[in-house]
């Protein structure tokens, strides 16, 4: 059975990350994974029945999800759906439920620049990419105390290795967060393209542990 993919982003009014700047590259990363629907309608979250994978790339930091949108999103993942959160897609963290779902909250970032990435989970299906370097925003995070996240990749910045990607379980579903994605160039990098594609494929397959 072919599972459908929904990509949710922000086309108009995005303060930093308009979907149009990266949509073509994300489409390329997801090519061949299944039928793809792209939307900027947050109301689509209220009903995700029949969906196989939700990809969040929205830029809505000041727009909290309403109760129906939050309930639809949490219910989808808890029921066994896959959630792939790309870079700024962590923006819905004004809802504490979303923080628990994704496993962490964004706390800020220094200026963008060249970052070195490495795998810290080479045995995981999403953690097998070789190390790479690209220019991106060094997002910082605080992990949720009630969620158990498995870090897949780290990036090196200011003398310290920081989490760059992780996976966590929520109900019967699975979440993958990937930090890179500030610009289209990130999604064009061959190593990162393979990470996005492998994360999508793993989540669509039911993400067995």
pLDDT digits (tens, 9 = 90+) for 66-79: 999 999 999 999 99
Beta bridge partners of 108: 140
Predicted local confidence at residue 208, as pLDDT: 47
The Cα 45–Cα 74 span in angstroms is 9
The Cα 152–Cα 118 span in angstroms is 9
Give the mean pLDDT of the chain: 96
Which domains does the chain possess? Answer: 4-204 (3.40.50.880)
pLDDT digits (tens, 9 = 90+) for 34-82: 999 999 999 999 999 999 999 999 999 998 999 999 999 999 999 999 9
DSSP letter for each residue of 54-72: EEEE---TT----HHHHHH
Identify the H or E element spanning 24.
helix 23-30
The Cα 141–Cα 58 span in angstroms is 18
Does 209 score more than 60 pLDDT? no
Does 207 score more than 70 pLDDT? no
Integer Rg of the chain from CA: 15
Q: What share of the chain is helix, strand, coil (3-state, %, to 5)?
A: 30, 35, 40
């Amino acid at each position: 059975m072919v599972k459908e993919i929904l990509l949710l982003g922000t086309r108009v009014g995005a303060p930093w990350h308009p979907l149009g700047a990266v949509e073509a590259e994300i489409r390329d990363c997801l090519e061949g994974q299944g039928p793809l629907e792209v939307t900027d309608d947050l109301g689509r979250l209220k009903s995700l029945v029949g969906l196989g994978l939700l990809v969040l790339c929205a830029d809505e930091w000041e727009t909290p999800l309403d109760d129906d949108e939050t309930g639809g999103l949490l219910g989808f993942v808890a029921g066994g759906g896959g959630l792939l959160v790309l870079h700024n897609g962590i923006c819905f963290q004004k809802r504490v439920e979303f923080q628990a779902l994704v496993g962490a909250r964004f706390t800020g970032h220094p200026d963008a620049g060249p970052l070195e990435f490495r795998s810290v989970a080479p045995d995981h299906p999403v953690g097998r990419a070789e190390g790479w370097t690209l220019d991106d925003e060094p997002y910082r995070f605080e992990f949720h105390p009630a969620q158990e996240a498995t870090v897949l990749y780290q990036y090196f910045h200011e003398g310290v290795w920081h989490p760059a990607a992780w996976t966590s379980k929520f109900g019967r579903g699975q979440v993958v967060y990937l930090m890179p994605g500030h610009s289209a160039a990130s999604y064009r990098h061959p190593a990162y393209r393979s990470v996005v594609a492998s994360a999508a494929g793993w989540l669509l397959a039911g993400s067995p542990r």
